[in-house]
Structure 1
Amino acid sequence: MEQQAKEIAELLKVMANQHRLMILCYLIERPMNVSEIHEKIPAISQSALSQNLAMLKAHGIVDSNKYGLQNVYHIKDDRIKKIIQALRETYCNSN
């Protein structure tokens, strides 16, 4: 149980960033490339977006597939999708 708690805490630390949460909220809708995500979140530079995606990928939260010259990102783990969906339903749909 203690090891699981450590892993969950690390996962939540990585996700505890407004830009990374926004990225994940869009990726639960469908896989997207960097340009598509950037269209949804224009307030973040494409460079910063790529850095955030790299961090999410390094922690096993997202993965990417290469199609031609583009990397298309998707959420790797269905448990992450459930967490993001619960947060989205609780906080984003209350307006």
Structure 2
Amino acid sequence: MDQPHPTIDLGTMQAAATRACALLKVLANPDRLLLMCRLSQGELSVGELEEQLGIRQPTLSQQLGVLRENGLVATRRDGKNIYYSVASGQALAVMAVLYEQFCANPDQEPAC
């Protein structure tokens, strides 16, 4: 039988809820969510992201900037190319749950 989670004091719970909401707010944009989905599969350059996802350069740069500012992605420069990768283990864990719920069985109806 599963062990119940230990009781957490209200202050700790409120701080955790604030952090969780901040992460979810960043992910609650279709372009950013697509970017995180694709980057969860491996590092890509800006050009590769634009080509694979069909997000045009101005929007792509803006959304990558939001992800970078919030610590969800990291960058690496190689010559003229900038490569992006997922930098947040928490975001990667959320992406795994979203994948399981929405992508692994795309024909499955929501349980709502």
Q: Give TM-score scaled by structure 2 length.
A: 0.79
More helix by share: 1
Deviations 1:14-42 (A, max 9, x none): 11011101000000110111111111211
Count of equivalent residues: 94
The whole-number CA distance in structure 1 between the counterparts of 2:105 and 2:47 is: 29
Answer yes or no: is 1:39 the counterpart of 2:39: no
Which 4+ residue blocks in structure 1 deviate beyond 3 angstroms?
none
Structure with the greater relative contact order (CA < 8 A, sep ≥ 6): 1 or 2? 1
The whole-number CA distance in structure 2 between the counterparts of 1:12 and 1:78 is: 14
Runs of 5+ consecutive residues of structure 2 not aligned to the other structure: 1-12, 107-112
What is the aligned counterpart of 1:11 among 11, 18, 23? 23
Q: What CA RMSD, in Å, does the superposition of the two structures yield over aligned residues?
A: 1.0
Answer yes or no: is 1:50 the counterpart of 2:61: yes
**Higher Rg:** 2
The whole-number CA distance in structure 1 between the counterparts of 2:18 and 2:99 is: 24
Deviation at 1:81, TM superposition (A): 1.0
